[in-house]
Structure 1
Amino acid sequence: MSSSRHVRFAENVAYTATPSPSYSVSSLPSSYGPWTPPNAFNGNMPLSASAPMLHPMLGFAGPEPNVVFDVTLPTINIRPMKNIPHSVLMEEATFPRVPSLVLTHPRLFWTITVEPSDGGNWVLVRDVFNAIYASLRQQASAGEYDRLGSDVQRQVTKAFSKRYARMPNAQSQTLEKSKGLKRVDFLGSMVTFMGLTPSQIGPNYWELVLA
């Protein structure tokens, strides 16, 4: 019998992108200087001359990312690992700047398209974080779940149960459970943002690295 009986799928729910709460970092020193693209590139070498360079805030930097970001939680919960001020979120995500980015992950059937918010022309650092969270909050279907192998289904089911169990009380847990399986559950236990790395797909595609 399919293990999908252990998870719930929202029926006839149309996803509407709801803006995430604003990222907030308070009382940070201003010693972190503005990004100087030619010097701030931390080894995230593009695959070709046409590929942009990522802002250091976003690039994969090994076992210690520049931010603490659990992708199951709203971006207001992001916290910096270093003395990075709030203003860094308004800096361009790449050099040269781009009007969109596409993110992929091997555990996801979907890509995450990052576009400027608030009528802007270029993708900012905050747009990347907000797009990750908003995309992963979308509902997943029973058909998509059934495409997974049995081992992965068990991981997804466990992630789903863990996610709604984290809600602060029984009422909110029941409500979250009723909303059904979400894309973020397909990541299993890999929900910590580690950064982005260049993708083989093309110069404007980046792979989401999670731990």
Structure 2
Amino acid sequence: MPAIHIQSLNTLPRGYSFPATPDAHYLALPHQSPAAGQYGQMYQPLPKISYQLHPALSSSNGPQFVWDMTLPDENAHRDPRFPMNQLNQSATNPPVPLLIIEFPNMPRWQIHVRSSTMAYVTVGDVLKQIYVQLRTMVDAAEGQQLCQSGAADYRSVQRAFDARIAALPLKHQPFQHAHGIKRVDFLRSHTRFAGLVRSTKNPEAWVLTSL
């Protein structure tokens, strides 16, 4: 292996000068608002881009179609006012990969809607996940806690459960009855989809509304 010779600065020829170092180039960063912190100046993140909901999902103009959320989301498509081409359209403008939906009066029951077939969340993704998450079973301890906290009334939830079971074909009633109360029963008699509204507590979430 050849020896490596390191030339001392004292042995460089008289008049030798080092080549100029190229100027450093920096990326121009967007402006951020400084905020006083424990260790001097800290920076807060830029505000996130706001977006609008697809008209089929927004509650601003009233329900665009009839959908009883105790029934599968395919029932929403059966309304003649629901164009089928809306299913693969972006749920928001601009498109987003995640949409957070809260259950009314129960923010812990969040529905995280992620894109399934597209690079963004679609109208169909939202309807599907609303139905799936509303079918989540509520155990006795959680149901009792919600009723004791005033977030729900046990009798009205029980009536909603009984009405949902009674509306099923007879052959399906025993099976569904055995699964007990589900989140959809906490909508009580208000099971018709009425769109989403912006959450007042979580700026990144939307709240499910019903009639």
AA paired with 1:161? D
Question: How does 1:183-202 map onto structure 2 within 5 Å?
Answer: 183-202=183-202
Aligned equivalents of 1:165, 1:71: Cα separation in 2: 16
Q: Is 1:168 equivalent to 2:166 in the alignment?
A: no
Per the alignment, in what secondary structure is the counterpart of residue 168 of structure 2? coil
Alignment correspondent of 1:101: 99
Q: Where in structure 2 are the equivalents of 1:87-98 lying within 5 Å?
A: 87-98=85-96
Q: Using the alignment, how far apart are the partners of 1:74 and 1:115 within structure 2?
A: 19
Aligned residue number for residue 69 of structure 1:
67
Is the 2:113–2:121 Cα contact (8 Å) retained in structure 1? yes
Paired with 1:136 and 1:156, the residues of 2 have a C-alpha distance of 14
Shift, 1:58, TM fit? 0.5
The amino acid that maps onto 1:87 is: N
Whether the 8 Å CA contact 2:157–2:188 is kept in 1: the answer is: yes
The Cα of 1:201 is off from its aligned counterpart by 3.3
Tell me the residue number matched to 1:57.
56
Of structures 1 and 2, the larger Rg is shown by 2
Following superposition, the deviation at residue 105 of structure 1 comes to: 2.5
If asked which structure has higher relative contact order (CA below 8 Å, sep 6+), I would say: 1
**1:178 to partner: Cα distance:** 0.8
Unaligned runs of 5+ in 2: 1-46
The answer to whether the Cα contact below 8 Å between 1:116 and 1:122 also exists between their aligned partners in 2 is yes
Code of the residue aligned with 1:167 in structure 2: it is L
Change (3 A) 1:146 1:202: closer
Q: CA deviation at 1:69?
A: 1.2
Render the CA deviation track for 1:106-139: whole Å, top value 9, x for unaligned: 2434111111113x32100000000100001111
Corresponding residue for 1:154?
155
What residue in structure 2 maps to residue 8 of structure 1? none
2:109 paired residue number? 110
Q: CA deviation at 1:176?
A: 1.0
Shift of 1:172: 1.4
1:23-78, CA deviations, whole angstroms, 9 ceiling, x for partnerless residues? xxxxxxxxxxxxxxxxxxxxxxxxx883210011110035x411211111101111
Mapped pair 1:139 → 2:140: no
Distance in 2 (alpha carbons) for counterparts of 1:79 and 1:102: 22
Give, in whole Å, the separation in 2 of the partners of 1:84 and 1:181. 30
Q: 1:188 to 1:103 in 2, by over 3 A?
A: same
Q: Deviations over 1:85-104 (max 9, x none)?
A: 21111100001110111111
TM-score by length of 1: 0.70
State the superposition RMSD in angstroms. 2.1
- Give the TM-score normalised by structure 2: 0.70
Q: Aligned runs of 1:22-33 on 2, under 5 Å?
A: none
